[in-house]
Homo-oligomer: A and B are copies of this chain.
Amino acid sequence: MTATPQAPQSDLEIARAARLAPMPEIAAKLGIPEAALIPFGRDKAKVDPGALAPRGREGRLILVTAITPTAAGEGKTTTTVGLGDGLARIGKRTAICIREASLGPNFGMKGGAAGGGRAQVVPMEAMNLHFTGDFHAVTAAHNLLAAMVDNHIYWGNTPAIDPRRVTWRRVLDVNDRALREIVVGLGGVANGYAHEAGFDITAASEVMACLCLATDLADLEARLGRIVVGYGPDRAPVTCAEVGAAGAMTVLLKDALLPNLVQTLEGTPAFVHGGPFANIAHGCNTLIATRTALGLADYVVTEAGFGADLGAEKFFDIKCRIGGLKPAAAVIVATIRALKSAGGVAKAELSAPAPEALRRGCANLGRHIANTKGFGVPVVVAINAFSADRPEEIAQIQAFAAEQGVEAIVARHWAEGGAGAEDLARKVVALAEAGAAFAPLYPADLGLFEKIDTIARRIYHAGEVMADKSVRAQLHAWEAAGYRDLPVCMAKTPYSFSSDPGLAGAPQGHTLPIREVRLSAGAGFVVAICGEIMTMPGLPRHPAAKAIGLDAEGRIAGLF
């Protein structure tokens, strides 16, 4: 095992140097006819699933998830892209499904690419700006509902909404801390009833979560209609449907619901669609994109936000449950550096040998392997290669994985593109062809608190769940109101199995405190919050925006 040569260019340089294939050519790889392809510029398109001929069989769904994230990074999206390209190279008809990027945060810190090195989805710049306008459509639909709620109160329409009990906030795709807590309706009679309000970032919108879990337009409208926007003077919930906004919101979202098609650097079709927050929502791309891809490709590679404790659990228990998906295999991404970091090595020391720290870090990997296998899904570990990795370190991880009954395969897609992920691809195919026996962690009819308790004990290995009487009472009230069968969406720090981000490795016996629960009746889950949740970021002292502009050649500078 020798060091991988560093790619000589930055992600941006590689992305810009790429010669993109025309979209009809990318679409043709999946048998998408031009009649189903709606162009957005020359290098992006939307696909109309209604214009596709049924293929009569479904592809195999591969989840890419990861160990607990560390500052060292693990490269989950990069591996998703690399694995997709690897599968394509070994002759499989493959599609990739990932989330869209949020616009606002790009102006705070330097923007996020979709993958990295030779394993990227392009066009990078468009994907980090307006892309095909889906986020803007969510913003418009969300804020139309907010305007209609205040207008409903203003005119005294029925059912009455108590202005003090409006729960529906507004959204913008911008990092703006000044909008977190505001008072609206000031300035006198003509402007309505003054009340507290606030803005979240668009990705945190329940409308986004509805878009991502909707099976079709009718289901989207039904989900939007079920959103609870506030409570009446009698404390009865008032829904979006009762305010009369669901139809108009659906009209605003009808194009946004069509999956976006782009390509990897190697021309593998990639659906980039939907972008919900991975804490207060499930953090996966849209169900409709995943289903469309499964109807077209033999292999569909997708990912879920954060580590497997959060991302994979929600993918299985929320998205797969709601969408009737049967994942065929899971890839758990790890890096030598991240495992050393999880074992306690400081960032500056990550290049030095540290077999003991690596051993400790492997405990985290082992927990994720066991958890994922617990869903009945076969697992392979992908070691996302860095040039500083040592053969003995690789061997140590591979031996550890073998003890857990899984294989750990080195993947060099960052430096080599799909060719570097062919071994991984072949293993994934072998696992998927051998068959899985997927089942969610808990049955839908388990009590809401019991669902939280099950996730806490079986996935997080907590000793107990701590929740105020008021939290339990709220859960019982929702059960009585007909929401018992909803899955639970955990909002917890991604940096530990526990709710303490400082507790690395594979802690057990800890206490999981549930601070608050929230009903996302439209999206279709109950959110259990185990700590602070920030739904509107701020900008740093020197925001990236200050350095962003067009250079002399009219190209975007400073965005990456």
Chain A residues within 8 Å of B, Cβ to Cβ: 38-42, 103, 107, 129-130, 133, 136-137, 139-140, 143-144, 146-148, 150-151, 154-155, 157, 172-187, 190-192, 196-197, 217, 221, 244-248, 250-252, 254-255, 538-539, 541, 543, 545-550, 554, 556, 558-559
| Interfacial chain B residues near A137, Cβ < 8 Å | 130
SS of A interface (majority): mixed
B residues in contact with A38, CB < 8 Å? 41-42
Count this chain's copies in the assembly.
Answer: 2
State whether A191 touches B181 (Cβ < 8 A): yes
Q: Are A174 and B140 in contact (CB under 8 A)?
A: yes
Contact B178 A191 (CB under 8 A): yes
Q: 13 other contacts beyond A144-B545, A178-B184, with CB at 8 A cut-off?
A: A147-B175, A151-B177, A151-B539, A151-B543, A154-B178, A181-B185, A182-B185, A183-B183, A217-B554, A244-B546, A247-B545, A248-B558, A254-B554
Shortest beta-carbon contacts, A-B, top 8: A247-B549, A181-B187, A244-B546, A147-B176, A136-B136, A248-B545, A150-B178, A248-B548
Is B177 a contact of A182 with CB atoms below 8 Å? no
Which residues of B sit under 8 angstroms from A174, Cβ to Cβ?
140, 143-144, 147
Which residues does chain B contribute within 8 Å of A548, judged by CB atoms? 247-248, 251
| Interface contact A177-B150, CB-CB below 8 Å | yes
What is the bound-complex CA distance between A130 and B543, given in angstroms? 29
A197 contact set on B, CB distance < 8 A: 178, 182
- Residue of A38, A130, A133, A179 with highest tally of chain B CB at under 10 A: A179
Q: How far is the CA of A154 from the CA of B542 in the complex (A)?
A: 11
A137–B191 CA distance with the chains assembled, in angstroms:
27
Q: For A559, what are the chain B residues with a Cβ–Cβ distance below 8 Å?
A: 251
Residues of B contacting A541 with CB < 8 Å? 155, 157
Q: Is the CB of B186 within 8 A of A252?
A: no
A-B contact pairs, 18 of them (CB 8 A): A38-B42, A107-B248, A133-B133, A133-B136, A136-B136, A147-B174, A150-B178, A157-B541, A172-B172, A178-B184, A181-B185, A181-B191, A182-B183, A190-B538, A246-B549, A247-B549, A248-B558, A250-B550
Whole-angstrom distance between the Cβ of A254 and the nearest chain B Cβ: 7
CB nearest neighbor in B for A541 = B155
CA distance A158 to B143 in the complex (A): 34
Complex alpha-carbon distance, A543 and B546, angstroms: 41
* CB contact between A556 and one of B146, B172, B251 (< 8 Å): that residue: B251
- Contact residues in B for A178 (Cβ distance below 8 Å): 147, 150, 154, 184-185, 191-192, 197
Min CB gap A468→B, angstroms: 23
Q: Complex Cα distance A43/B275, Å?
A: 27
Q: In the complex, how many angstroms separate the beta carbon of A219 from the nearest chain B beta carbon?
A: 12
> Is the CB–CB distance between B221 and A549 below 8 Å?
yes
User: What residue in chain B is nearest A50 (Cβ atoms)?
Assistant: B554
With both chains docked as a complex, state the minimum distance between the C-beta of A231 and any C-beta of chain B, in angstroms.
18
Max chain B C-beta neighbours (<10 A), residue from A39, A174, A244, A246 = A174
A103 to B129, CA, bound (A): 21
- Provide the bound-state CA to CA distance between A186 and B194, in Å: 14
Identify which of B42, B173, B192, B247 contacts A550 (C-beta below 8 A): B247
A157 CB to nearest chain B CB (Å): 7
Q: Among the listed B130, B151, B217, B245, which residue makes an inter-chain contact with A133, where contact means beta carbons less than 8 Å apart? A: B130
Give the complex CA separation of A248 and B549 in angstroms: 5
**Distance, CA A144 to CA B185, complexed state (A):** 23
Q: Are B184 and A186 in contact (CB under 8 A)?
A: no
Contact A186 B191 (CB under 8 A): no
Which residues from chain B contact A254 at a C-beta distance below 8 Å? 550, 554, 556
| A185: min CB distance to chain B, Å | 4
Partner of A148, one of B130, B221, B543, B547: B543
In whole angstroms, what is the CA distance A226 to B232 when docked? Answer: 47
A140 to B217, CA, bound (A): 27
Residues of B within 8 A of A549 (CB): 221, 246-248, 250-251
Q: Quick one: closest B residue to A143, CB to CB? A: B174
Nearest opposing residue in chain B for A147, CB measure? B176
Q: Is the CB of A539 within 8 A of B248?
A: no
Bound form: Cα–Cα A154–B180 in Å:
14
Q: How far is the CA of A139 from the CA of B139 in the complex (A)?
A: 11
Q: How far is the CA of A157 from the CA of B139 in the complex (A)?
A: 30
Given A140-B103, A548-B247, A548-B248, residue A190 in contact with residue B177 (CB < 8 A): yes
